Amino acid sequence: MSEEESLFPELKNDLILKATRGENVSRVPVWVMRQAGRYLPEFRNLRVENEFFDVCRTPSLACEVTMMPIRKYDLDAAIIFSDILVIPQALGMQVEMQKGKGPVFPKPLLDATDIKLLNVDVDVKIELKYVLDAITLTRKTLDGKCPLIGFAGAPWTLMAYMIEGGGSKTYSKVKKCLYVDPDSCKNLLNILTRVCIDFLVEQVKAGAQILQVFDSHAGELSADMFNIFCLPYLKDIATSVKKVLGPNQSVPMIIFAKGSHYALKDLGESNYDVIALDWTMNIEDARRLCPHKTLMGNLDPCALYSSKEDIDTRVKKMVQMFGTSKYIANLGHGIYPDVDPDHMEAFVNAVHRHSQSL
């Protein structure tokens, strides 16, 4: 046990850590991407009084929101309440969370050469101290109930937001840069990769017990463009984070590269421990292509609109398909804001019930 570990309460539920190592589990562990979010009335109430990024920047509030789903459901992991866009903010960019619209950058980068706006020598220990403090407080507040997941956005997905200025239907502004000025794009992606590595390392030092990298916009790229502008940076992150932390302090790492069907084999050979699948991915193919990895996923988030009975049937089928070992149950993307919280409960309980009887 490292010195940092001994400062925290003893872990009582290590199912998810066992699953990442391929060890036997008494039941399949389950958590849900975006479990600390807008489908929870408690969160919406808290947001009436607090701006989104103020919640992120106030450790007591971020901790409280992280704990909301943990107190309510029988979950096997917590994920720290934050956002992938805290990295562009730390680099000096302004990000606003607009109601009904999501994140908006008032002054996006014009192209990948426009890095004069960025504080490329950022010290994440200072600029993102609030996330690290939230992690330490939440790890203590969890009192060992389940492990705490830290996360970061992947370089390509962050670059997409920084150049598009928000979400996009086509991602044509940022993709144009990839085609017309690949070298400047690689430069920007390298800058983002270094910051991701530093930030993830510091999250572990602050108390994160698992790390997830979100490449939510990976699927916007063709296979050959993914191999140039995503894969090398994703691989670098896993390898470097583990190298810096060393064997005693390293934690399991999850990669969620949404839509990257063509990349499963390469991700299966990377240094990530867990490959997260979106709902369009074929479970048997993923098992075949990533034989040594734990898989995570992948119920369609829209399945939670169905009846509780139907959710139960679909979860049973999903667990049968994945099998009970080397598996972490989750949705194939974040839970949607208008899902009935009781249906979240039906999902979580169905995973536990069916995996115990298999």
Judged by the rule CB under 6 A, the positions of this chain that interact with ligand 1CP are 33-38, 47, 52, 79, 81-85, 97, 102-103, 151, 167, 214, 216, 333-334
Verify whether residue 179 is a known catalytic residue.
no
Of 94 and 307, the one with the shorter C-beta distance to ligand 1CP is 94
CB 316 within 8 A of CB 350: yes
What's the closest the beta carbon of residue 343 comes to ligand 1CP, in angstroms?
Answer: 16
Please identify, using beta-carbon distances, which residue of 312 and 334 lies nearer to ligand 1CP.
334
Minimum CB distance to ligand 1CP, residue 103 (Å): 5
> What is the secondary structure of 190-259 as a DSSP string?
HHHHHHHHHHHHHHHHHT-SEEEEEETTGGGS-HHHHHHHTHHHHHHHHHHHHHHHHHHH---EEEEETT
Residue nearest ligand 1CP, Cβ-based: 167
| Marked catalytic residue, from 161, 233, 272, 327 | 161
**Out of 76, 83, 215, 273, which one is annotated catalytic?**
83
C-beta of 103 vs 268, nearer to ligand 1CP: 103
Of 149 and 350, nearer to ligand 1CP (C-beta) is 149
Minimal CA–CA distance to 33: which of 356, 351, 254?
Answer: 254
Instruction: Kindly tell me which of 268 and 334 has the beta carbon lying closer to ligand 1CP.
Output: 334
Least Å distance between CB 292 and ligand 1CP? 25
Is 287 part of the annotated catalytic residue set?
no
**Residue with the two structure tokens 């390898």:** 239
Tokens of 331: 């949705």
Q: Is 47 a catalytic residue?
A: yes
Answer yes or no: 233 catalytic.
Answer: no
- C-alpha 198/C-alpha 212 separation (Å) is 14
Residue 161 known to be catalytic: yes
Q: How far is the CB of 291 from ligand 1CP (least distance, A)?
A: 27
In whole angstroms, the minimum distance from the beta carbon of 102 to ligand 1CP comes to: 4
Write down the least CB distance from residue 43 to ligand 1CP, Å: 7
Whichever of 195 and 287 has its CB closer to ligand 1CP, that residue is 195
Contact 94, 106 (CB under 8 A): yes
**Could you give the residue numbers annotated as active site?**
34, 38, 47, 83, 161
